[in-house]
Structure 1
């Protein structure tokens, strides 16, 4: 029987639906993808969107969708023909996840966590198992899956200290939700301890799925060919976030403007000259910010060349990587990468992809989202930590001028990435074992089988 608090939560999420619709309309003004199939978010689907026995995988946004792609590839290797139902919460996540679909698969929006929307979703698709990627745990969804006998698991699970503190403040909702999960496979021991403290049944510490990603070899080959034609080394600010691009541009402007100085300040003159001897490139994390970042670059007095613009002048001071799905190309071009999300208090973006491409990384002070990966990378000699953007620019300049050090870091990055593979195989095997033991929804439990 549901607790009074959970029923109150369900009443709140039901009453909040008009506010959710208004928020979606506002988001759609900047990202049209949010206007697509809005009714799916409230459990209303096209007649042809039906099935049973799905392996349902929820990947809320871009990073989770990429991790889901690694897991799905391994699931298909171990169980060819497995039917996949994908749900997402953001427009970029849905766009990325759509690339994973094969004939027989289906993609819809994540249902809003109200009793009605969740019930309609589960009754329509009747999944054999539900897989939540990384962090997404919703109270109504976990309760509804428990009531229907649908095993719901959390894969590639992570929980930082900030998120744990937030969950503990809402322990009356969080604890029942985490304890209702059939299994949790954590990325690190630290994640495991935090998840267990919320009542989660951690069944293993399997590492990060993203170590099992294989960079696009065609992109790396194209990058290698292009690098031979470029006159300058390249520093890429990868997956930059709001506020960080301004930091970089202000440092570059300050350093670069110092060229006409007296001879006695030759050290300063040297910094300015070195800044101009490097090609700087910014790759924003979120595509809806591409135009905003281009305007920001120009407002700081820099010429900008966009990846999306055919024939963009190579001599532009700042290149803008305004494309999706080409991070291997950007990392392949880079002599060194600055890690986005680590120069504001945002926890850092994924540095594993850079390592897999053999790209040295310079990270700022904030890496709590990938704390263990960051520390392992530092210990392996694949990355360097600095306190702020000014030190990051200086460190990047030193690396571009030291090919021996740069090559050593590149090889360390490749070794670091290869040493931490294997999470996909372990996670897929454990997931399939649970799915095989589950009865299809609405049927009596029979011999274990995946349909």
Structure 2
């Protein structure tokens, strides 16, 4: 299996890399993905072995911050490595994981590249966040005698169905993983059905509930940001976070209807992929608004028809603190939704669509606890936003319930740490 996988992936890499360069996406991270570790990281490694944590998305990196801190504190004898895949994730990781943690790009999952990196890093344990199943990485790390743990693990219904079709191929890979620390009982059951030994699977909760308020977010910060966005006393600020193609039109149409009822409303749209900022700005213009990119906020004149477009990385979670109402993107279209916990820690009223498949259990908890409103379509979105933005009591109640749910659900970081330490045995 591994030989065939290697050949197919190598062919793909040979064909894809030139295309990647031609699209203008070449950057130094490509060399690291080919197995060449940066000189500053090489010089900093102490040759004493490492604890290697891999997180693929920006959300996973943010959520893993406290786990990285805990690992650094518990294992001072080892180097702490954090790997990512995207440039956005890599840049964010460097900002938030703290001093003494080495941030790299995950090598391409081709055996000879992985072997080179594993030899350099000498991991005592590899911690894969959520469900990052890289066959060669798992095979090489396990073959080197190192331990492997899936932390904060989850598997969606759709992914589970797909994995079940190739369960016979996954049996060897899953068998090389020493422990599975899952978010929910449903995730645990799915992995057991895929062939994992029940004794290797634990339920530890979701470390995303352990996200704390971003550093520097206080009353002075929120007041300063409201002024920067031109918000007067009594103005209401709606933040649509991590939106996808097809949602911005809905949001802008809804906002236009709300503005007809009250002029003291403002909107910021934060597209999930900031390279879509120009497209979102064009949509806003076509619908009669004047878009202002947040990166140019201090250079532009804010008017009554301004709509803000967040085109910078790593600022959305802090800007949730300034919002009076939050919409979670990727949920009105079939993109699986995004994390509602980030605005919840600031006690914000939250609305999301029906397509929260990537956060199925979390979104269900929010709904059941009166901590969010789920809408099925554009019309329902308008009704819900109207109900919340013009009803202070409703907004406050949703926000209080959201914060209470987060507080009651904390503790998963330390449970995941225990699973990791039990496997490492030190």
Does the TM-score normalized on the shorter chain lie above 0.5? yes
Matched residue, 1:353: 342
| Structure 2 CA distance for partners of 1:215 and 1:103, relative to 1, 3 Å | closer
Contact 1:362-1:383 at 8 Å conserved across structures: yes
Superposition deviation, residue 82 in structure 1: 4.7
Counterpart selection for 2:282 from 290, 295, 302: 295
Contact 1:252-1:275 at 8 Å conserved across structures: no
Matched residue, 2:380: 391
More deviation, 235-244/156-165: 235-244
Contact 1:61-1:94 at 8 Å conserved across structures: no
Matched residue, 2:141: 145
Counterpart selection for 1:214 from 212, 217, 242: 212
Superposition deviation, residue 54 in structure 1: 0.7
Matched residue, 2:203: 205
User: How many angstroms apart in 1 are the aligned matches of 2:49 and 2:27?
Assistant: 29
Matched residue, 1:91: 87
Counterpart selection for 2:359 from 354, 370, 377: 370
User: How many angstroms apart in 2 are the aligned matches of 1:425 and 1:329?
Assistant: 25
User: How many angstroms apart in 2 are the aligned matches of 1:424 and 1:131?
Assistant: 13
Counterpart selection for 2:126 from 119, 127, 130: 130
Contact 2:33-2:108 at 8 Å conserved across structures: yes
Structure 2: 5+ residue stretches without partners: none
Once the two structures are superposed, residues 51-81 of structure 1 have per-residue CA deviations (whole angstroms, 9 ceiling, x without a partner) of 4411101111211211221211222344456
Superposition deviation, residue 26 in structure 1: 4.9
Tell me if 1:286 matches 2:283. no
Matched residue, 1:195: 191
Matched residue, 2:310: 321
User: How many angstroms apart in 2 are the aligned matches of 1:82 and 1:370?
Assistant: 33
Q: Which has the higher contact order (CA 8 A, sep 6+)?
A: 1
Contact 1:185-1:204 at 8 Å conserved across structures: yes
User: How many angstroms apart in 1 are the aligned matches of 2:241 and 2:253?
Assistant: 17
Alignment of 1:40-439 (within 5 A): 40-46=32-38, 49=42, 51-80=47-76, 82-201=78-197, 202-216=200-214, 218-221=216-219, 222-224=221-223, 227=226, 229-252=232-255, 255=257, 273-274=260-261, 276-309=263-296, 310-315=298-303, 316-435=305-424, 437=425
Contact 1:274-1:397 at 8 Å conserved across structures: no
| Structure 2 CA distance for partners of 1:278 and 1:21, relative to 1, 3 Å | same
More deviation, 362-371/327-336: 327-336
Secondary structure of the 1:168 match is: helix
Superposition deviation, residue 90 in structure 1: 0.9
Once the two structures are superposed, residues 164-214 of structure 1 have per-residue CA deviations (whole angstroms, 9 ceiling, x without a partner) of 122223334333222321111111111111122222354321111111111
Contact 1:328-1:357 at 8 Å conserved across structures: no
Superposition deviation, residue 226 in structure 1: 5.0
Contact 1:233-1:335 at 8 Å conserved across structures: yes
More deviation, 376-385/106-115: 106-115
Superposition deviation, residue 278 in structure 1: 2.2
Contact 1:224-1:332 at 8 Å conserved across structures: no
Secondary structure of the 2:123 match is: coil
Contact 1:287-1:322 at 8 Å conserved across structures: yes
Alignment TM-score, normalising by the size of structure 1: 0.85
Structure 1: 5+ residue stretches without partners: 256-270, 438-448
Superposition deviation, residue 378 in structure 1: 0.9
User: How many angstroms apart in 1 are the aligned matches of 2:19 and 2:185?
Assistant: 37
User: How many angstroms apart in 2 are the aligned matches of 1:103 and 1:277?
Assistant: 43
What CA RMSD, in Å, does the superposition of the two structures yield over aligned residues?
2.2
Q: Which has the larger radius of gyration?
A: 1
Secondary structure of the 1:319 match is: strand
Superposition deviation, residue 291 in structure 1: 2.6
Contact 2:130-2:153 at 8 Å conserved across structures: yes
Once the two structures are superposed, residues 311-367 of structure 1 have per-residue CA deviations (whole angstroms, 9 ceiling, x without a partner) of 433434312222322234322221111111101111110001111111111110101
Contact 1:129-1:151 at 8 Å conserved across structures: yes
The number of residue pairs the alignment matches comes to 413
| Structure 2 CA distance for partners of 1:109 and 1:328, relative to 1, 3 Å | closer
